[in-house]
Amino acid sequence: MKKIMIMIYLFFVLTICFSSLYSNEVRGLTNTIPVDNKMEVIGKAKEYYPSSVQPEKPIVITDRENWTLVDSINFNSYIQPGNYADILFDNTTNEIEFCSNFYELIGPEAFTALDKAPQWLRPALENIFLQLEPDIQLDWAEVINNASDPYIDEIAYSIAHTSAEYLSSPYCYPEIFIENVVYLYVADIYLNYVEVVDYGNSVTDDNYYSTTLYWKIDEYGNQVQVEVPRDIYYMYLVHPKITDEIPAFIDPDIIENNVTHNNNIVSPDEGVFWRHFLFNDCDAGYPLLRDELLNSSVVWDVTGNTPDDAIHTITQWINDSMSFTSNAERPHQPARIYRKHIGRCGEYADLTAATCRVALIPCTSILAVSSDHTWNEFWDEEWIHWEPVNNSINNPLVYENSWGWDFASVFEIKSNGYLSPVTAAYSDSIATIIIYAIDANYNPIDGAKITLRVSTGWDNWGYTDNEGKCTFIVGEGITYYARMDSEIGNDPIDVNQIYEVAANSMHGQTYIYYMSAAGTMPEVEYNSVTEPVDDIDDYKLVVDFNVPEQVITGSIIMDDLDDTEFYNNINEGIINFFMTDWLNYHYYTDGQVFDTFNEYIGISGGEIEFNIPADEMWYAFFDKGNNLNNPQYVRGSVRLYEYEENSNDNNVISIKTHLFGNYPNPFNPTTTISYDLNNDSKVKLEIFNIKGQKVVTLEDNQKTAGHYNIVWNGKDSENSSVSSGIYFYKLDTENYSSVKKMVLMK
């Protein structure tokens, strides 16, 4: 049995004020949808034919013979619009260092939290930390730092993929993230058809992660085991948010306010969270979910011959626990929905998604807003249609063929608030509407909001990517309308006006339009100059990078908490790349026109070399100065080579004595210090604190020429662990001396 650790935090108790119910209207959906104002159609949108020319990836022919690697930097981060990240070649030390204008993380606690999280998760975690006020940033960093394996990755992921507004709200308690993960592992103890597997941990593996393995009966009647993909496990099974509810501890006996949906939120010691509540509690006369699932040996039997598989068991449990009706109250909280035991499609979908995740099965919610209906999908090697209220499984065309419904848009709502079109799965006849947002100069607008509408009301929402593009998959035979809203202007300008974008849509047809803002996008102003000539083979800089993802960001359309924003990764990011000298770099950072060479605008990656004239400082930098909203995920390395007449191997002993940067830095509890010797010499390597006091001597003896790696364990000369802070390490030889800085964070 896995050991369960629950950390206790002291927080103030929320003062909850009751308010009256808002409406007696009985509908299917319960989601928080914008008020449906009357809209005026002012004509048809303008057709658009975007350029198909894409920026080329820079290609270089690399010849590394006689060049020896002397320094390198790896980077892995989001670059926000208006920000930059640069690599400086310092001609006074002949070394490189990484710089940026990113807002800095506050204190060593945030760095320690990033270091504890898996490497693949760190950019997203850093991104959310940078959106938080310093005291709140430190609070959430401490939640991660105080967590233990195997819970760290799930807790860190949930924090990284939750809105900053929620993390800063009075409804958000650390106990939510802790209990959510702890009881995930508790469920693992009871369930026979699934198990949580941890690949590595925070100590042994920098890229550790968790997921689940489950049993199923395939179409041939064979019992097989399947592993859930990592990203599906975290977003659709681990994440504590279902759709538009506020993840919170609630009192399930309090009637939920239809307007605010927050009046039943209480402190952790006064309320319940759905992950624990639905699995371990039941009302008198109703079945206990945990007991019902004990006999399930597989998640799902595709052949239908196993009536007690988990999916059919949950379907039965939902119908045993609920009646399809409603009164004036339309709750969003799964625990309150269960306590009422009544609801329509909105309540059924929210309770089903929560119950499925409690049972360690990935699940999501599917919405057709203009048709006023919602249901679910669970994951079994692909997303499977599921609606327990009608005992309908894997029959996505039931609405069209049996109910006679013609959907406009159908979309999936991720736990982070992002909406993805899935209309193609629920209709035999579909069309595509593509809308581009452009500025007054025909430059694309990223992060512009596109609203889609039909005659009965709102239908779908989306946000534009780096191309200013937003795509909707829609049904046929329906007329669609749209508008664009952005930070630099709207189209139409009046918020109550819309354009027609597809009249009586036809199957297989693609409709492409553009909407333009009166304002202009920011631009990086520069002069392209010839690359400086280097007459001496001495140093070479090689930048190797790619931008595999862009981050679509925008306001969460359906959320009980106001003004929240989502961040959702999609493929194909782009970045600007420049090289310049010291003076022009400072022109750039000051917002002035600057001279640059080796410049590439809007590229997805490449390898770029620069033979360095070593008589001054040089900068290579990534820039997102021409974006408004969408961060770009950039990763890669920068390598500094030194020319050596007799070298034809990157790994040969350097002809130069050199002290390298320690790795990792910041570190906890150990770090490695490396140096090269060009000849036999007496060597002294010492550590000093920020006051200049010697902490420990790591080496003080004669050494032969070669490369050396020395590990410092964070202890002083008395073998006592030193405190967190800044330290310096100094290398002295007979002909060389160098000092570098490092940070110990506990």
Q: What gap in Å lies between CA 629 and CA 13, rounded to an integer?
A: 36
Our separate counts of H helices and E strands in the chain read 14, 39
With a CB cutoff of 8 Å and minimum separation 6, the contacts of 159 are 125, 128, 140, 143, 144, 167, 177
| Closest by Cα among 186, 616, 541 to 358 | 186
pLDDT at site 328:
95
pLDDT at site 664:
78
With a CB cutoff of 8 Å and minimum separation 6, the contacts of 703 are 677, 680, 681, 682, 683
3-state secondary structure 319-369: HHHCEEECCCCCCCCHHHHHHHCEECHHHHHHHHHHHHHHCCCCEEEEEEH
CA atoms within 13 A on the CB side of 7: 20
Name the phi and psi angles at 126, rounded to 5.
-60, -40
| Closest by Cα among 546, 526, 548, 535 to 598 | 526
Q: Which CATH number fits domain 40-52+429-516: 3.40.50.300, 3.40.50.970, 1.10.10.10, 2.60.40.10?
A: 2.60.40.10
3-state secondary structure 145-157: HHCCCCCHHHHHH
* Amino acid residing at 594: F
| Closest by Cα among 216, 257, 273 to 6 | 273
pLDDT at site 687:
92
Whether the Cβ atoms of residue 480 and residue 501 lie closer than 8 Å to each other: yes
Mean pLDDT in each 10-residue stretch from start to end of the chain (746 residues)?
32 28 48 78 81 57 72 87 89 83 70 92 92 93 96 98 97 97 96 96 91 96 97 98 97 96 97 97 96 96 93 97 96 98 96 98 97 96 95 94 93 96 96 97 96 94 96 96 97 95 95 96 94 86 94 95 95 94 91 94 92 87 92 92 64 63 80 87 90 88 89 92 85 84 78
Q: What gap in Å lies between CA 110 and CA 134, rounded to an integer?
A: 10
Please report, for residues 110, 205, 224, the alpha-carbon distance to residue 199 in angstroms, rounded to integers and kept in the order given: 24, 8, 21
Domain with CATH 2.60.40.10 in the chain: 40-52+429-516
pLDDT at site 63:
59
Token digits for 714? 């964070």
Domain with CATH 2.60.40.4070 in the chain: 658-744
pLDDT at site 66:
78
Name the phi and psi angles at 166, rounded to 5.
-70, -45
Tokens 């204190």 correspond to 107
Peptide bond into 108 cis (omega under 30): no
3-state secondary structure 515-562: EECCCCCCCCCEEECCCCCCCCCCEEEEEEEEEEEEEEEEECCCCCCC
Whether the Cβ atoms of residue 452 and residue 483 lie closer than 8 Å to each other: no
- Top CATH class of 658-744 equals mainly beta
| Closest by Cα among 336, 327, 371, 334 to 349 | 334
pLDDT at site 58:
66
Q: What gap in Å lies between CA 163 and CA 179, rounded to an integer?
A: 19
Residue 599 pairs in a beta bridge with none
| Host H or E run for residue 703 | strand 694-703
Q: What gap in Å lies between CA 722 and CA 715, rounded to an integer?
A: 5
- CB atoms under 10 Å from CB of 390, counted, come to 18
Instruction: Please state the separation of Cα 374 from the chain's center in Å.
Output: 26
pTM: 0.82
- Top CATH class of 67-102+523-643 equals mainly beta
pLDDT at site 655:
56
| Closest by Cα among 403, 531, 540 to 68 | 540
Domain with CATH 2.60.120 in the chain: 67-102+523-643
Whether the Cβ atoms of residue 153 and residue 208 lie closer than 8 Å to each other: yes
What torsion, rounded to 10 degrees, do the Cα atoms 342, 345, 350, 356 define? 100
Whether the Cβ atoms of residue 484 and residue 449 lie closer than 8 Å to each other: yes
pLDDT at site 62:
56
DSSP state of 180: H
Whether the Cβ atoms of residue 565 and residue 165 lie closer than 8 Å to each other: yes
